[in-house]
Each structure stands twice: as structure tokens, then as C-alpha cells.
Amino acid sequence: MIGAVLWILLGWFVAGALGYLVLGCLGVPQTLRRSRYVLKTSESFAGDTAMLAGLSLLTGLGMTAMLIWLRLQSDMLMKIPVMVLDGSFIVMLIAVLGLRRRFFPVIAKGDEQTIRQAVASVEEKSGVLNLVLMLWGWLMVALMTAGVVMNFARRPWGDWDAIMIWTVRARFINRAGTHWADTFTLPAIHPDYPLLIPLSIHRLWQYPMVELPLAPQLVGATFLVSCMLILWGTLRKYRGSAIAWLGLILLIGNPFFVNFGSLQLADVPLAVAFMAAWAMVLLASHEYAANRSSMRWWVVAGVMFGLTLWIKNEGMMMLLASGAGLIVGWSVLLKQDAHARRIVQLKTLARRMILPVFTGFFPFLLVWLWAKMTLVASNDLLRAQSQNAQMEKLTDVSRHTEILRAYEHMIAFNKPVWCSVMLVLLILLAGWHVSALGSAGRMLYGMAIAIIVCMLGYYTVYLLSPYDLAWHLETSLSRLMTQFWPAFVLWAMMVVNLSWLRTKP
Amino acid sequence: MTVTEETSSTQGQSPKGPSPVATTKLRRISRVRRIRRVVACLLLGTLVLWPAWSLVDFCLFLQRYQPTPAIVNANWADRDQRFAALSNYLEPGAVVAYHTNWPLPPNGSMLHEAQLAGAPVIITDIWYPHTNLVLLDVADDSLLQQAIQEHGYELIKHFGDGLALCRRDNKTPDRQRQNKDAQPAEVTP
């Protein structure tokens, strides 16, 4: 038993290491070091490390799931143990990293000395408020951990959705061997849903060859922890320690977020990928405006957008909404170069932003399309509804009323929604800080648009739902709203002006 | 716009110093700003304290209303053991309809848990029309024969512990009732 647990933990660690190496090949850790020390900015070491750890875990899960998908497609690869496959991939990445360092060094020779000398000059001194918030934050993290552990112990396989949609499919793949695709036939298990989570669980089970509930629990916990690290790291970088802790406290203070995450529902992983993608967009915009190379950050943003597609079907809606948000954000960003000609601006946009985002996104799109074409099947929400029936539903006033009533009920009784309202009130009373954050601040308009468009999209899905509307709303509305929680907290904490509390900037 | 920006933009100062009108305006803005800050501080305090209450409440809920880990683990171990025989007996992807007389457990439905334990056999609900195989799951073997006779099934394989694989046809009472009750579905597969 202990041996199996250790094997699963090793599998998890290998995924994180793979993610780190992929980011290393993109030059992400090196760039963070350079921007921190060589350029003598005040961006923090702790924030960067947290962000890097979170991104490594997410990227690692995404990449290893893709690797497992390739393994499932070939009888020859199926004979190779997953561990060997992971090991080969690690060796390949280390080789690429070595070549990259040899031929495309991010840090020039001689900079190392500068780095060491500059360390002392960039460390921030923490105030009493920072200290109080930090201690309070750690207390909240301890409480959250207690809740998560209790949920894992009392519901080891998670909630119904986790069992029927994610873990069962992992078991089908794990137990059916080469016949795994034959088991993806019934609508009850949603065979059209993307495969990141089932494949990640299956991969962890392949290490000890025992199906322990630790594997799905670890996948769920990884997304929770990554979310905390990326949110805290991003806020630490831009808004200082106090607001970073405040954001973290608010994030984990939402019991729906903690509960759904520890019940292994896919809504939390989706929420994390969405938030991480926008955090990277903000970072890339910041680097672009500072005339530093932003391309690798756009690639990482593309990877995170790819994860939204590879986690859950709702990721498609998030991608569409993010597309709208990015168009707005990019147009605001390019307006800065008012002296440049329009055609030059568009070329810059295509070459330095759109292309890198698509580069990061493309592998996930490819695998997603591959799975859609080989496995199934249309989505249960969309199939077999005539256009007339859809138009009738769109214009049916009673459906609009029912959905709005459900929203009203949620606002009245859902405490995290109260918290969101309070956050908006706080922003209105304390003021907002968009212009002080430069380009990253202007990108926040795009982020707000993405969240709003996505919410409107979900509203339309409810209108067109083939299921009993009351049942559909009751069983999914709180989960869908939780999908926006991390991104909303990040947005609110980036926007709110608490300079009167002597926070950065 | 920040509070500071708003204040500075509305300050009207003459070279000799602020006029009485400007001073009054300035005081009013200052008072409004103070009130706004007090309310903002209260909101901020609530937002910082709220997670403590919500997380403690969440932990207490789990403590009070969820079964203990010992019970849960014993149930899962028992279920895995019972359904292992079914998984070994049928081909991966075989479809069986699930029929049980067990009461629902406090968390999770019997069907979902049976499906997890019985994978890679596909276990659907009893109303699924495209299979004649029924997985009968009753409390113990003494109730099995009675359930088979009651529903008109034909026994194929008895796995023990109240679990059996049966065959049904369109003449069984349950199937006739299903056909009669069948409603035209809004969503066709």
C-alpha cells in the first residue's frame, strides 16, 4: 500500500518535472530570473517561484495526458510502460534544453555576477499589514487543507459527476487495455468530454498498477494548489504581498471552490486553466509594453488556453469569450504605438502575439480534434435539436424568466456571490487602478469582457438546453459560477486601488 | 480613477491660496473620501474575515453529515470485491442494465458506484432499452430468487453476495411496463 502511494507520488512529481522542463525549453524560468535580477526590477523571487511551480504542474499534466493519448493510439506504444515513456520524454526535453542553452542563451555570459550583486537590492521589506495578512492567509490555507483532507477521506472517489464522467472513463481505459475505445459508447459517461483528467488519472495508476483513489485526488489537489500558486504569484508580482495574500484568502474562502475541487469535479481545473491563461496574457502584455521579449509568455498563455479545451467542453465557450477579450485587449495594447503605421501594428500583432498564442494552443487543438473525430459523437446539449426548436427556446419568455429567477435565487442565497458583490462595491468605493498597471492594466478590460461574454454564453446554453430547465439550473449553476471565481478574484485584486493601505504600486 | 486623482483634479487653487468656495468644496470632498474609506475598510474587513467563517462552516458540515472514513472505505472495498466477478465474466464494453432494491446511500447513487466498481463493463440504468442483460443487485442471496421470479428474469450467472447476471425479454413484466411508459424523448440519440 505504502509502495503504491509512493509510486503515485513519483508519477505526480514526474509530471511536474516534465512541465518545468517544457517551460525551460521555452525559456520561461530563465526569463523570470533575468527580469528579476539583471533588469533590476522589484518583481519578487517568491512570486515568480510560486507562479513557475503552478505553471509547471499545469503544463506537466497537460503534456503527460497528451503523451498518454498518443500511447493509446498505438499498439506498439501500449506495450511500453508509462514510466519508460515519461523517462524518454524527460531525456528528450533535457537534450533540447541543453541545446537551447548552448545556442540560444537567455542570460548572456557575465550576467551571473550581476545577478548575485543585484539580489540584495530587490528584496522588499514587509510591513505589519503584510505580516498580519500573511499569518491570516496561512491560517486559511490550513483550514482549507483540513476541509480538503476530510473530503478526500469521506468521499474518496469524489462526487457523482467525478465518478461517472472522469474516474469511470479512467477505469475503462485502465482496465480495457486495447479495447478501451469500445467502452466509450454510452451517453451516460459523456464520451464526448475531453480526456485530460481521465488520462492523468490513468497515467498515475499505471505507475503502481493499482487503482488507488489517491490518483484522482492528487489530480484534483494539483489544480487547487496550482490555482493558489499562480494567483498568489501573479498578484505578488504586480500588486505586492498584501494584495497577493488578500487574493489568496478570498480565493480559498469560497467553500464551493474548495468543495468542488476536493470532490474532483472538472469545473475547478477548468477555472484554474482559464485564470492561468489570463494571468499569462497580463504578464505577456506587461513584458511587451516594457520592450522585453513577450513571445514565450504568449506561448504559455496559448498552452493554458489549450488546457481549457482539453479539460472540459465548457472550455470551448471560454475560448470564444477569451477571443473576444483578447481582440479588445490587443487593440488597446496596440493603440500605444500610435506613431506606427496600421499595417505595421497588425504585422506586430500577428507575429508577436497571435502566432505565439496559437503555437502554444495548437497541440491541444490537434489532440482535441483527434479525440472528437475518433471517439464520438456530438454533445448532448446540441444534438438533434432543429433550428426551429432552438429559435422557439430563444424567444420563449418563460425560459428567460426561469433562468433569471435562478440567478436571482443564487444572488440571494449563495454566499460567494455576496462576496463577489462586496468585491465590486469595494472597487467602486476604493477606486480602481487600471492605468497605474500600464499595459497589463489595459488588458484587464479584455479580461472583464471575456468573463462577461462567457457568462452570457452560458445563459444562451441554458436557453437552448434540451433538459428540464429547472433541473439543469439546479444541478449546474453553482458549478458554472465557480468556473469564474479564480479569474474574477485575479481581476478584482488587480483592479482594486488599495494604495491608501500602502500596498504596491 | 483613484480617490487621490479625483481629489486632485477638483482642487481649484488661486495663486494667493484657496478661495472660500474651494475650501468648502475641498472639505466636502475630504469628508466624502473619509466616509468612502471607512466603508471600504469595513468591506475589506468583512472580506478578510468571511473565509474563516465559511471554511470552518465547511469543515463542520463535513464532520457532521458525511459518513466516517472507516465506513466509506469498508463499503468501497466490499463493492469492489463483489463487482470484480462481473468484470471478469463479461467482455469490456458489454452493456448490462442495473436493477437493485438497495436504498440509496447518503452520498452517491448505487448505479454510479456500481459502474465505477464494475468497469470496464458498462452498467446502465434499468430503463436502457438496447440490452437484454440485467445485473441484479440485492441485499443478500436469500432475496435473489424472489427478485428473479418477481421480475420474470432468467438467471445466467450467480456471483454471490446478492449479485447475479440475468436475461430479460420483452415479455417480462418490467419490460412491458417500460414499453408502455416510454415517452417520446425530446433528445434523440
pLDDT in tens, A19-78: 999 998 888 887 777 666 544 455 577 888 899 999 999 999 999 999 999 999 888 888
Three cell numbers written together for A176: 480495457
**What is the value of pTM for the model shown?**
0.87
Say yes or no: B94 contacts chain A, CB-CB below 8 A.
no
Question: Is the pLDDT confidence value at A460 over 80?
Answer: yes
Question: Is the pLDDT confidence value at A360 over 90?
Answer: yes
* Nearest residue, CB atoms, A175 vs list B1, B92, B128: B92
Q: How confident is the model at residue A120 (pLDDT cuts 50, 70, 90)?
A: very low
Q: How confident is the model at residue A337 (pLDDT cuts 50, 70, 90)?
A: low
Contact flag B115-A164 (C-beta cutoff 8 Å): yes
DSSP conformation letters of B104-155: PPSSS-HHHHHHHHHTTSEEEETT-TT--EEEEE-SSGGGHHHHHHHHT-EE
* Nearest residue, CB atoms, B48 vs list A136, A150, A416: A136
Partners of residue A255 in chain B, C-beta under 8 Å:
54-55, 57-58
Partners of residue B55 in chain A, C-beta under 8 Å:
140, 143-144, 147, 252-253, 255, 258
Give the residue carrying C-alpha cell 502575439: A353
Residue A432, SS3?
Answer: strand
Residue B99, SS3?
Answer: strand
Question: Is the pLDDT confidence value at B110 over 70?
Answer: yes
The confidence score (pLDDT) of residue A170 equals: 92
Percentage of residues in chain A having pLDDT higher than 70: 87
Partners of residue A151 in chain B, C-beta under 8 Å:
62, 66
Q: Which residue has the higher pLDDT, A103 or A316?
A: A316
Q: Distance of CA A290 to CAs A5, A35, A296, A297, A337, Å?
A: 46, 11, 15, 13, 13
Q: What is the dihedral of CA A447, A450, A453, A454, to 10 degrees?
A: -120
The confidence score (pLDDT) of residue B3 equals: 41
ipTM above 0.90, yes or no: no
Partners of residue A498 in chain B, C-beta under 8 Å:
44
Question: Is the pLDDT confidence value at B6 over 80?
Answer: no
Quickly count: other Cβ atoms within 10 Å of residue A456's Cβ.
12
Say yes or no: A498 contacts chain B, CB-CB below 8 A.
yes
Within A336-437, residue ranges assigned H as helices are 342-349, 355-374, 387-395, 397-413, 415-430
Contact flag B47-A164 (C-beta cutoff 8 Å): no
Say yes or no: B126 contacts chain A, CB-CB below 8 A.
no
Q: How confident is the model at residue A123 (pLDDT cuts 50, 70, 90)?
A: very low
Question: Is the pLDDT confidence value at B183 over 50?
Answer: no
Give the residue carrying C-alpha cell 487503482: A211
The confidence score (pLDDT) of residue B175 equals: 56
User: Which of A224-228, A379-383, A385-389, B160-164 shows the highest mean pLDDT?
Assistant: A224-228
* Nearest residue, CB atoms, B93 vs list A179, A416, A429: A179
Three cell numbers written together for A53: 511551480
Percentage of residues in chain A having pLDDT higher than 90: 46
Q: How confident is the model at residue B127 (pLDDT cuts 50, 70, 90)?
A: confident
Sign of the torsion angle spanned by Cα atoms B27, B30, B32, B38? negative
Least confident of A86-100, A465-479, B7-21, B63-77: B7-21
Partners of residue B51 in chain A, C-beta under 8 Å:
140, 143, 249-250, 252-254
* Nearest residue, CB atoms, B59 vs list A143, A246, A497: A143
C-beta of residue A12 within 8 angstroms of C-beta of residue A201? no
Say yes or no: B113 contacts chain A, CB-CB below 8 A.
yes
Q: Which residue in B171, B180, B135, B130 sits closest to B155, CA to CA?
A: B135
Three cell numbers written together for B110: 448505487
The confidence score (pLDDT) of residue B186 equals: 36
Sign of the torsion angle spanned by Cα atoms A353, A359, A361, A362? positive
**Tens of pLDDT along A417-426?**
888 888 888 8
Q: Which residue has the higher pLDDT, A343 or A126?
A: A343
Q: Are strands B122-125 and B95-100 parallel, antiparallel or unpaired?
A: parallel
The confidence score (pLDDT) of residue B174 equals: 58
Contact flag B50-A253 (C-beta cutoff 8 Å): yes
Q: Which residue in A62, A436, A422 sits closest to A276, CA to CA?
A: A62
Question: Is the pLDDT confidence value at B65 over 50?
Answer: yes
Contact flag B62-A429 (C-beta cutoff 8 Å): no
What are the backbone angles phi and psi of residue B91, rounded to the nearest 5°?
Answer: -70, 150
Query: Which long-range CB contacts under 8 A does B101-110 form with residues at least 24 apart?
Result: B101/B138, B101/B139, B101/B143, B101/B147, B102/B137, B102/B138, B102/B139, B105/B75, B106/B65, B106/B66, B106/B67, B107/A155, B107/B66, B107/B67, B108/A155, B108/A157, B108/A159, B108/A160, B108/A163, B109/A160, B110/B137
Say yes or no: A44 contacts chain B, CB-CB below 8 A.
no
Q: How confident is the model at residue A182 (pLDDT cuts 50, 70, 90)?
A: confident
What is the average per-residue pLDDT within A458-477?
A: 86
**Tens of pLDDT along A152-168?**
999 999 988 888 888 99
Contact flag A384-B107 (C-beta cutoff 8 Å): no
Give the residue carrying C-alpha cell 506606427: A340
Residues 397-426 of A with CB under 8 A from B: 415-416, 419, 422-423, 425-426
C-beta of residue A194 within 8 angstroms of C-beta of residue A311? yes
Distance CA B130, CA B96 (A): 9
For residue B102, the 8-state DSSP code is P
Q: Maximum Cα–Cα distance for chain B, whole Å?
A: 105
Q: Distance of CA A234 to CAs A132, A229, A435, B107, Å?
A: 20, 8, 18, 38
The confidence score (pLDDT) of residue B187 equals: 33
SS (H, E, C) A99-113: HHHHHCCCCCCCHHH
Say yes or no: B63 contacts chain A, CB-CB below 8 A.
yes
**Tens of pLDDT along A216-255?**
999 999 999 999 999 999 998 888 888 999 999 999 999 9
Question: Is the pLDDT confidence value at A105 over 80?
Answer: no
Question: Is the pLDDT confidence value at A201 over 80?
Answer: yes
Q: Which residues pair with A178 in a beta bridge?
A: none
Cα of B129 to nearest chain A Cα, Å:
12
Q: What is the mean pLDDT of chain A?
A: 84
Q: Which residue in A47, A50, A30 sits closest to A39, CA to CA?
A: A30
Quickly count: other Cβ atoms within 10 Å of residue A432's Cβ.
18
Q: What is the dihedral of CA B82, B84, B88, B93, to 10 degrees?
A: 100
Partners of residue B93 in chain A, C-beta under 8 Å:
176, 179, 182-183, 185
**Tens of pLDDT along A287-326?**
877 766 788 899 999 999 999 999 998 899 999 999 999 9
Contact flag A500-B120 (C-beta cutoff 8 Å): no
